[in-house]
Amino acid sequence: MYPPIEPYNAGKLKVSDVHTLHYEVSGNKDGNPVVFLHGGPGGGYDDKDRSFFNPVKYKIVLFDQRGSGRSTPSACLEENTTWDLVKDLERLREHLGVDKWHVFGGSWSHPDRVKSLVIRGIFTLRKSELRFFYQDGTSHLFPEAWDEFVAPIPEAERHDMILAYHAQLNSVDDQTRIRAAKAWSKYEMATSKLYVDPEQIARADLDDFANAFARIENHYFVNDGFMRDGQLLEKQEIDKIRHIPCMVVQGRYDVVCPATTAWALKKVWPEIEFHIVPDAGHSAREPGIAALLVKVSVLDLPQGKVH
Give the residue numbers marked as catalytic. Answer: 107, 254, 282
CA-CA-CA-CA torsion sign (139, 168, 194, 53): positive
Q: Which residues contact 131 (CB under 8 A, 6 or more apart)?
A: 137
Pick from 27, 37, 26: which is nearest to 57 by CA? 27
Element (H, E) at 58: strand 58-63
Rounded to an integer, what distance in angstroms lies between the CA atom of residue 44 and that of residue 154?
30
Amino acid at 241: I
How would you classify the pairing of strands 32-36 and 9-14? unpaired
Rounded to an integer, what distance in angstroms lies between the CA atom of residue 41 and that of residue 38?
7
Pick from 217, 237, 37: which is nearest to 125 by CA? 217
